[in-house]
Amino acid sequence: MLRGNERKNIFNSDEDKQRFLETVHEKKQGERFYLHAFCLMDNHIHLMLSEGTEDVARVMKRITVSYVYYFNKKYKRIGHLFQDRFKSEVVEQDSHVLSLARYIHQNPVKARIVEKAADFKWSSYGSYLNENNYFKKVLDTDTILDLFSKDREAAVKGFKEYTNEESEESFFDLKEEVEVMDEEAARQIYEKMLVEQKLGKNEEKMQPMESLIKELKVKTNLSIRKIAAITGLNKDKVNKILKS
């Protein structure tokens, strides 16, 4: 798992996500590694891979260095794009392999971005159901499908049913990184966001303010009470915005 530095976006467009996957495809040539599942969210990435001729650390370095060079050049920026080193854990048991694949493909559902895994374009889910899916070239699907059946039609059916089952699994010790930012640092971020949105502290422009509050929550993971204190908004109002 890779997360954007300060929880900022690592993808600003579909073109960026496409470029990341093309980078993965390029770096896995020569059986350096095998990719079994992925999910690209705006500010973090999930990859399920197994080692080939290179170890995980080398694989991730090659991918991230190449993508950061592209991203920084495109958006005329410098500095870190990713938050620290990638997070990882070895998964060996077959049941855990399947659970991890489901966890990755359900990530956009749990985040309430889509209702079903099939509705999210930027994950490997569609490639398991459709041989002609564009992202199929990047994936090695046999490892997971073989755990359901050697018959491909039966395997795909089993994969689809399993992936769409209700589950509460939370993998590794990542648990989506429950970090809470220092309140003063959060206040500085909020004030910077106001300047960028051309809003005063007491302005009532609800549409941009709603998106700003949601972004502040993502970046800081502060409680509703602290967000209310920083923004000067009523706690009930903050709660309503975050639930909308």
Distance CA 201, CA 141 (A): 51
Contact at 8 Å (CB) between 128 and 144?
yes
Q: Is the pTM of this model over 0.85?
A: no
- List, as one string, the DSSP characters of 16-84: HHHHHHHHHHHHTTTTTEEEEEEEE-SSEEEEEEEESSS-HHHHHHHHHHHHHHHHHHHTT--S--B-S
- The bridge status of strand 33-40 relative to strand 2-3 is unpaired
Helix (H) or strand (E) segment spanning residue 12: none
Per-residue pLDDT 10s for the chain (244 aa) are 998 887 788 999 999 999 999 999 999 999 999 999 999 999 899 999 999 999 989 999 999 999 999 999 999 988 889 887 788 888 878 878 999 999 999 988 888 888 899 999 999 999 999 888 888 889 999 999 999 999 999 999 999 999 998 876 666 544 444 445 677 888 888 888 888 776 655 544 445 678 788 888 777 777 788 888 888 888 888 888 877 6
What is the identity of the amino acid at 104? I
Secondary structure of residue 53 in the 3-state scheme: coil
Exposure of 238 in the CB half-sphere (CA atoms within 13 A): 18
Tokens of 20: 């990341």
Place of tokens 């966890």: 103
Residue 232 identity: G
